[in-house]
Amino acid sequence: MVLVVGGGPSGLLSSYHLCKMGVDVTLLEEDSTIGENPHCGGLVSADFWGKLGVTPRHDVVLNHINGFELHIGSKSVHLLSRAPCALVISRSLFDKYLYELAKDAGSKVLLGLRAERIRAGGQGVEVKLADNSFFKEDVVVLAEGLSRLLTLQVGGRPNGKALPSFQALVRGRGFDPRVAQVFLRGEMAPYYFAYFIPISEDAGRLGVISNKADPSKVCEKIMRTLGFAQVKRYKKWGVWLHGPIKHPSARGVLLVGDAGGFTKPLTGGGVVWGGVSARIAAEAICHSSSQDLLENYLSLSRRTFWLEARAQALFRRLLLGPSSYKVLNLLFEGKGSAQNILGEIDYDFPFSRSLPPFRCLTGKELLK
The answer to whether the pTM exceeds 0.85 is yes
Residue 149 lies inside a defined structural domain of this protein: yes
**Would you call the peptide bond into 99 cis, given omega within 30 degrees of 0 as the criterion?**
no
21 plus 80 within the same structural domain = no
140 plus 210 within the same structural domain = no
Domain boundary among 233, 260, 288: 233
69 plus 170 within the same structural domain = yes
Cβ 110 vs Cβ 29: under 8 Å: yes
70 plus 183 within the same structural domain = yes
198 plus 271 within the same structural domain = no
Helix (H, G, I), strand (E, B) or coil at 313: helix
Tell me the per-residue pLDDT of 134-156, one tens digit each, with 9 for 90 and over. 999 999 999 999 999 999 999 88
CATH number at residue 279: 3.50.50.60
214 plus 111 within the same structural domain = no
What pLDDT, on a 0 to 100 scale, did the predictor assign at position 341? 66
Residue 67 lies inside a defined structural domain of this protein: yes
User: Left (φ > 0), alpha (ψ -120 to 50) or beta: where does 148 sit?
Assistant: left
Checking if the pLDDT of 336 tops 50, the result is no
CA pair distance 171, 116, nearest whole angstrom: 40
37 plus 102 within the same structural domain = yes
Helix (H, G, I), strand (E, B) or coil at 22: coil
Tell me the per-residue pLDDT of 195-247, one tens digit each, with 9 for 90 and over. 999 999 999 999 999 888 889 999 999 999 999 998 887 778 899 999 999 87
Band (pLDDT 50/70/90 cuts) for residue 362 is very low
Residue 49 lies inside a defined structural domain of this protein: no
Tell me the per-residue pLDDT of 25-80, one tens digit each, with 9 for 90 and over. 999 999 999 988 778 899 999 999 999 999 999 999 999 999 999 888 778 888 88
Neighbours of 38 (CB within 10 A): 18
Domains held by the chain: number:
3
CATH number at residue 192: 3.30.9.10
Domain boundary among 201, 233, 265: 233
150 plus 268 within the same structural domain = yes
Q: What is the 3-state secondary structure (H, E, C) of 77-120?
A: EEEECCCCCEEEECHHHHHHHHHHHHHHHCCEEEECCCEEEEEE
Closest by alpha carbon to 79, among 333, 268, 285? 333
End-to-end CA distance of the chain: 54
Residue 305 lies inside a defined structural domain of this protein: yes
Checking if the pLDDT of 291 tops 90, the result is no
Residue 273 lies inside a defined structural domain of this protein: yes
CA pair distance 11, 275, nearest whole angstrom: 8
108 plus 146 within the same structural domain = yes
What pLDDT, on a 0 to 100 scale, did the predictor assign at position 46? 94
Q: Which domain range does residue 330 map to?
A: 322-367
107 plus 210 within the same structural domain = no
CA pair distance 206, 8, nearest whole angstrom: 22
Domain boundary among 293, 314, 335: 314
Tell me the per-residue pLDDT of 115-138, one tens digit each, with 9 for 90 and over. 999 998 778 899 999 999 999 999
272 plus 133 within the same structural domain = yes
Helix (H, G, I), strand (E, B) or coil at 133: coil
Residue 54 lies inside a defined structural domain of this protein: no
Residue 327 lies inside a defined structural domain of this protein: yes
192 plus 228 within the same structural domain = yes
